Amino acid sequence: MIFEGNIQQLKFYLKHLKRDRGITARRIEEIRPGQYRIETGADTMKEIQKNTLEKIRIEKREYKGREFVDIRTYYLDGNEWKPTQKGVTFKPDRLKEVVRALKSLEE
């Protein structure tokens, strides 16, 4: 995502993303003065609203150089979305198997 504005506006926007949408910037790169590229990982994350105070976040992440898929429940604490311990993490090579199992439950 590309953001145009000064550094104070960028900071305000990043706070808005975190507070209202639970999205944290993973990397910010200044393209030219007043223009920034923000990498949020939104293309590797999907959310499902569970109820008004909880959502399920499914995302592809990297930790210590290794990729994994994380499915976790998040709760609303004031104005901020926070992760719970309720979740599961597995290697991406298991993703097809997990999807097949979920589809079989749908039938």
1 vs 30, 39, 50, 62, 93, CA distance in Å?
Answer: 12, 7, 27, 20, 28
Break the chain into its structural domains and give their ranges: 1-40, 46-107
- What is the value of pTM for the model shown? 0.60
Does the pLDDT of residue 44 top 80, yes or no?
no
- State residue 14's pLDDT score: 86
CATH architecture type of domain 46-107: Roll (2.30)
Q: Is the pLDDT of residue 88 over 90?
A: yes
| Confidence (pLDDT) at 22 | 67
What is the reported pLDDT for 98? 93
Band of the pLDDT at 53, cuts 50, 70, 90?
very high
Retrieve residue 78's tokens.
């004031």
The answer on pLDDT for 40 being more than 90 is: no
pLDDT score at 42: 61
Most confident of 16-20, 62-66, 96-100: 96-100
Q: Are 105 and 79 in contact (CB under 8 A)?
A: no
